[in-house]
Amino acid sequence: EPEVTQTPSHQVTQMGQEVILRCVPISNHLYFYWYRQILGQKVEFLVSFYNNEISEKSEIFDDQFSVERPDGSNFTLKIRSTKLEDSAMYFCASSDQGALYEQYFGPGTRLTVT
Amino acid sequence: QKEVEQNSGPLSVPEGAIASLNCTYSDRGSQSFFWYRQYSGKSPELIMFIYSNGDKEDGRFTAQLNKASQYVSLLIRDSQPSDSATYLCARTPWAGANNLFFGTGTRLTVIP
């Protein structure tokens, strides 16, 4: 069964460093998403991506964040200058028909900023 | 208006019983509703989604949507210990939206 994959599973970085989180969505899906979940809190939407551009972003997704689909399979989230409060699980998700229909989540990347 | 309200629980049911999980929302423009299961330390796993009023069944799971009363529920029949997890309710805020708003989740424990 196709699934969303994410690398790395755990990333430790120092405050102020740049990190890139990588995702490979399900191959025939066209809609891609990043969510985050701070420990003990709810899943929060960051950004959605369709047709090679951002379709929606939340207030969390400020200028420190960017997304890219560098090739036909990868979807990346870059945090330019990490802060302590960026420590969270970051989930990538994909959908073949958009947010009115099923979104499938990857296993997540645990980001720890020290 | 982003909020999706869920009772955080924990909800405990004996094995074999029906577990009933509820979710309310305030934004009448909400379109589709989703139930995800999340085991501790894992990612959300889609159980089912619903966008029409009424019931939708998939195996042991039934989702119920009542847009007039602004609630959505999930029934789990013949609950198993492996169903013990946090259940997340999520909604698409409007017809053209491309994001999901999640509730905080209800923790379910099925007692053997």
pLDDT in tens, A104-114: 999 999 999 99
Question: Please, are residues B102 and A43 in contact by the beta-carbon 8 Å criterion?
Answer: yes
Facing residue for A91 by CB, picked from B43, B95, B101 = B43
Chain A residues with CB under 8 Å of B98 CB are 31, 33, 48, 50, 55-56, 98-99
**C-beta atoms of A91 and B90 within 8 A:** no
Q: Supply the pLDDT for residue A23.
A: 98
> Which pLDDT score is estimated for B2?
66
For residues A35-52, average pLDDT: 95
**A61 at the B interface (CB within 8 A)?**
no
Q: Is some CB atom of chain B closer than 8 A to the CB atom of A90?
A: no
Mean per-residue pLDDT pooled into runs of 10, chain B (112 residues): 81 97 87 94 95 95 95 97 97 83 96 96
Task: Examine residue B10 and say whether the peptide bond preceding it is cis (omega within 30 degrees of 0).
Answer: yes
Instruction: Tell me: pLDDT of A83 over 70.
Output: yes
How many other C-beta atoms lie within 10 A of the C-beta of residue B11? Answer: 16
pLDDT of A98 strictly over 90 = no
Closest listed residue to residue A77, CA positions, set A26, A34, A15: A34
Specify the pLDDT at position B1: 58
Task: Quote the pLDDT of residue B3.
Answer: 76
The pLDDT, as a whole number, for residue B53 is 94
| A10-30 pLDDT, tens digit each | 999 999 999 999 999 999 899
